[in-house]
Amino acid sequence: MLLCFEITLQVCSLSFSFHSLVVPSQAHRFVRFKSKSPVKVSHVDHLVLTVKSIPKTINFYTSVLGMEEVTFKGNRKALSFGQQKFNLHQLGQEFEPKAKQPTAGSADLCLITTTPLTAVAAHLKMCGVEIEEGPVERSGAVGAITSLYFRDPDSNLIEVSNYNQPIKDSS
């Protein structure tokens, strides 16, 4: 048996409808709602991390997570990985426009890797990074994941995960 429901919201003179089908025995699992918004976001290009020390942050993410340091627009710094990046803002010297209340240590990020988590855990130990939790099962954006949790130099929570099964291309 399937349950079908629709929710309609009125926001900024636009009407959005969300539809979902739910199998009652699986109602506790991830439910994806379909939006009728004309805006379709495809992916994240970058996000900004406000940090206490750009050099310490670069050292951590390049040596622990294999990201690449990038310099752009003069002397601005970013960390590149895959097809996205983290732009870095020095706390108290942020670039405009910026977050309303830029704060170091407020991020909670999940990063996907194909490196087995046993190898990730061994590398974290070698780098002196303490694992706070894991490996544990979690729900990712496109399926089940297994994750390790640890903190960067600003105490941002970093989750590094493997998908539990190969992800099928939906295109």
Amino acid, single-letter form, for residue 162: N
Query: In Å, what is the CA distance from 171 to each residue of 36, 40, 133, 168?
Result: 19, 15, 34, 9
Nearest alpha carbon to residue 152 among 128, 134, 120: 128
User: What is the spatial distance between Cα 148 and Cα 162, in angstroms, rounded to a whole number?
Assistant: 9
Please count the CA atoms within 13 angstroms of the CA of 135 that sit on its side-chain side: 14
Nearest alpha carbon to residue 60 among 106, 107, 128, 110: 128
Helix (H, G, I), strand (E, B) or coil at 54: helix
159 is catalytic: yes
Given 6, 130, 132, 159, which residue is catalytic?
159
| Catalytic positions | 159
